[in-house]
């Protein structure tokens, strides 16, 4: 089932990133390039994070960032960024995040 949503084109492997917004940009790029999201979709996730905190950090090392469909989702999509060295999203209970799966719906 995941093969329906994830492919080589939507999976990015990277050593590290400097900041969580950079991680969101990198993770969202395949969906942006495919026309599944508009640039404002990533902006909306960042704004919600700043307002509500890291609501999408679901478990230690795992985040599933998303925004509301009307904030720039043009279709259904899923992308994945796997970091060798995790990045802090500010969810201290869950430590650095190394797997980020961005959802567009």
Q: Catalytic amino acids?
A: 66
3-state secondary structure (DSSP) of residue 48: helix
In which order are the strands placed within the sheet that holds 97-104? Answer: 11-14, 77-87, 97-104, 62-63, 57-59
Cα–Cα distances in angstroms (integers) from residue 1 to residues 5, 7, 13, in the given order: 7, 11, 21
For the chain, the C-alpha Rg in angstroms (whole number) is: 13
């Amino acid at each position: 089932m995941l093969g329906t949503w994830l492919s080589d084109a939507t999976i990015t492997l990277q050593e590290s990133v400097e900041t969580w917004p950079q991680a969101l940009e990198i993770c969202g790029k395949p969906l942006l390039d495919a026309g599944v999201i508009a640039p404002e979709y990533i902006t909306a996730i960042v704004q919600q994070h700043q307002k509500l905190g890291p609501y999408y950090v679901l478990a230690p090392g795992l985040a599933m960032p998303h925004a509301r469909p009307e904030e720039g989702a043009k279709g259904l999509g899923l992308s994945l960024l796997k970091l060798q060295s995790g990045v802090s999203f500010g969810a201290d209970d869950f430590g650095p995040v190394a797997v980020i799966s961005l959802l567009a719906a």
